[in-house]
Amino acid sequence: MSEKALGGRPLAEVVPLSQLGRTTRLQKIRVAPTLAAGLVLLVLVIVVAITAPLLTPYDPIEQQFTEAFLPPFSTGHILGTDNFGRDIWSRIAFSTRLDLQIGLLSVSFPFVFGSLIGIATGYLGGTLDTILMRIVDVLMAFPFLILVIAIMSILGPGLTNLYIAVGVVGWIPYARITRGETLATRHLEYVLAARTIGCSSARIMLRHILPNVIAPALIYVFTGMVLAILTGATLSFLGLGPQPPTPEWGAMIAEGRQYLLLAWWMTTLPGLALLVVGVALSLIGDGLAERRGG
Amino acid sequence: MGRAAYIRKRLLLMVFVLFGVTVVIFGMVRILPGDPAFLILGDRATDQKAAELREQLGLNRPVLEQYWMFVSGFARGDMGQSLLYRQPVGDLVLRRVPVSLALAAYAMGLAALITLTFGILAAVNKGRWPDQLIRVGFLFALTTPNFWFGILLILLLGLTLRWFPVAGFGETAAQHVWYLFLPALTLALQLSAVLIRNLRGQIILTMRSDYVRTAHAKGLSGSLVLLRHVLRNALLSTLTIFGLQFGFLVGGAIVVETVFALPGTGQLLIQSITARDYPVVQAITVISAVLVIVVNLVVDLSYSFLDPRVTYE
């Protein structure tokens, strides 16, 4: 701001400096409650994931048959124990690592691949675009979970195959989002200007279009992570995910099913953990979307 | 483009998608490195079994001929032999389809009730506590894993309060309604979580339009305007979202059937995967994809009839 704009007076006279600092600071920290709540929850979850070995004295897979079926708030076992006498809190905490990893890894490849494909087809158009849209039409015809299960049935159970199966269809939303945004941007002046000064298509797509169309795709990452974590948990509930005795929430819920009346905590608590992570990520996604939408 | 041309185009697209779907399923075992017979048999594989399977599936013939056998077989209702049950896949699957369809239809009915009730309630109370409560409540429904929610319902309403049976399908029609209530509710809550968001937004948007203001100005009562004028238009968009969500409903039904031990296709699918009964997996995947394609076609076409303003491009 030049002094001229302030009527020739120094800035400090127009707005007292103390106030100036204060307003900007307030503006900076004004975050929608939805977003804030989501972020706080997610940070808590991440802290649990990182510090899992420090939070619990028990090995998540060590069996202690004399300690089996202890209810929550038993001495030494805050969330109780399961049928093998394993500490539930320890299993939930260690599983946080695995489930966050599933969420993160399952979206990273689809996000990068899908966004690039979406930008390329949106910008270049033509046959490439038509082919992409038909592939999308075909893949969208499959119920997501059934296609993932069908792929896993060939590849076999396990984590790596889970990533592959989710990745086969997971890129579609990102491609659709960035393609739509690119279609809306590609006739804007700055793109035309870039083309006029002789930028290559690749440069225009990566340096000019990408930064402007990536935000909605990034927001969708949070929805994608919720979907991936739920899918991972569902597959491991069905016995197709990480194999026992690896602690995973979905698998823990499945293990507890037979002891529903005897030990309700075996199924209830891991589900709550899933719920917390899902709500945290959804709140962040919603909060960011609201912020963009104004 | 007129409506007839639109319908023609839409049907053509459907034929293409059907073709694509069969190619994907057909190609799935063949695209991977290694002998498909060994892939399908997994750890059960012996040279002799593999040779038998190759013969049975026609794997020793040219690829195009194999594909033709696969597609024409499906069209005739001949979906091959189950490796586990040693029965025709068609009999095995089709016997279970009614259970799954009943579950899906039931869930859709419940979802419609829940969506209308809470969508309208949220929209007319926009920003006030009922709206916030509904929003938070269904955010939870959206992120709750359905298998876990189903188990909670079993624990609470089935085992503890003994209001509902916890497994099976029942014998009579009345029993079916009774037995399917909890599984259908599990599916419906998740489906309505998505639909309510959309319906609420659409109602609020429609309320702002001129014709609604005119209706109010004519002196029509608020509820009449809401039900007759606003809702009709708002529901159109929700219908499209429903079409898009149908695939998730079918996928969710697989899991929920397993949780409630319903003798439907979902349970068969999970069994078949554990037993590596690939022909059954293949058949169920194709059938569910066809179902999704048909439902979306119906939604798209009915949209063009329900809303005369729709232009086709």
Query: What is the C-alpha to C-alpha distance for residues B209 and A87, in angstroms, rounded to an integer?
Result: 58
Residues with Cβ within 8 Å of B281's Cβ and at least 6 positions away in sequence, in order, are A149, A150, A153, B269, B272, B273
> From the CA of B115, how many Å to the nearest CA of chain A?
20
pLDDT mean over B78-97: 86
Q: Flag if A141 and B289 touch (Cβ within 8 Å).
A: yes
Return the residue matching tokens 């696969």. Answer: B70
Query: What is the C-alpha to C-alpha distance for residues B122 and A244, in angstroms, rounded to an integer?
Result: 44
Query: What is the C-alpha to C-alpha distance for residues A80 and A74, in angstroms, rounded to an integer?
Result: 6
Tell me the whole-structure pTM to 2 decimals.
0.87
Q: DSSP H helical segments within B32-128, as ranges?
A: 36-41, 47-57, 63-76, 89-94, 97-124
Q: Give the three-state DSSP class for A77.
A: strand
Single out the residue of B252, B196, B198, B144 nearest to residue A226, CA to CA: B144
Q: Quote the pLDDT of residue B80.
A: 82
Confidence of residue B1 (pLDDT cuts 50, 70, 90): low
Option in B250, B278, B282 nearest A143 (CB): B250
Single out the residue of B190, B227, B293, B109 nearest to residue A138, CA to CA: B293
> From the CA of B216, how many Å to the nearest CA of chain A?
29
Q: Give the three-state DSSP class for A87.
A: strand
- Which residue in chain A is spatially nearest to B30 when comparing CA positions? A154
- Which residue in chain B is spatially nearest to A258 when comparing CA positions? B151
Does residue A18 register a pLDDT over 60? no
Q: Quote the pLDDT of residue B313.
A: 52
Q: What is the pLDDT of residues B216-237, one digit of tens each?
A: 888 888 888 888 888 888 888 8
Comparing A160-164, A284-288, B266-270, B272-276, the range with the smallest average pLDDT is: B272-276
Does residue B262 register a pLDDT over 60? yes
Does residue B59 register a pLDDT over 80? no
Option in A141, A233, A286 nearest B21 (CB): A141
Task: Sort out which chain A residues have CB atoms less than 8 A from B292's CB and list them.
Answer: 141-143
Q: What is the DSSP letter of A18?
A: H
Mutate to test the interface with B, among A138, A243, A281 (most CBs of B within 10 A): A138
Burial of B239 (0-12, 13-18, 19+ CB in 10 A): middle
Four-CA torsion A16, A18, A21, A23, nearest 10 degrees: -70
pLDDT mean over B183-194: 94
pLDDT mean over A124-147: 91
Q: Find out whether the peptide bond into B279 is cis, omega within 30 degrees of 0.
A: no
Q: Flag if B139 and A137 touch (Cβ within 8 Å).
A: no
Q: DSSP H helical segments within chain A, as ranges?
A: 11-14, 17-29, 33-55, 88-124, 126-141, 144-155, 159-170, 172-185, 189-196, 201-203, 210-237, 249-256, 265-293
CA A145 vs CA A179, A235, A249: distances in Å: 24, 9, 18
- Which residue in chain B is spatially nearest to A140 when comparing CA positions? B247
> From the CA of A209, how many Å to the nearest CA of chain B?
26
Single out the residue of A203, A238, A206 nearest to residue B251, CA to CA: A238
**Residue B161: both structure tokens together:** 């309060």
Query: What is the C-alpha to C-alpha distance for residues B157 and A98, in angstroms, rounded to an integer?
Result: 32
Query: What is the C-alpha to C-alpha distance for residues B79 and B101, in angstroms, rounded to an integer?
Result: 20
Q: What is the pLDDT of residues A33-56, one digit of tens each?
A: 889 999 999 999 999 999 888 888
Comparing A10-19, A84-93, A100-109, the range with the smallest average pLDDT is: A10-19
What b/e sequence results for B217-236 when a residue is b if at least 16 CB atoms lie within 10 Å of its CB, and e otherwise?
Answer: eeeeeeeebbeebbbebbbb
CA B85 vs CA A148, B50, B96: distances in Å: 24, 17, 15
Q: DSSP H helical segments within A156-204, as ranges?
A: 159-170, 172-185, 189-196, 201-203
Confidence of residue A2 (pLDDT cuts 50, 70, 90): very low
Does residue B96 register a pLDDT over 80? yes
- Which residue in chain B is spatially nearest to A275 when comparing CA positions? B144
Task: Sort out which chain B residues have CB atoms less than 8 A from A231's CB and list them.
Answer: none
Mutate to test the interface with B, among A146, A237, A257, A259 (most CBs of B within 10 A): A146
In degrees and rounded to multiples of 5, residue A81 shows phi and psi of -130, 165
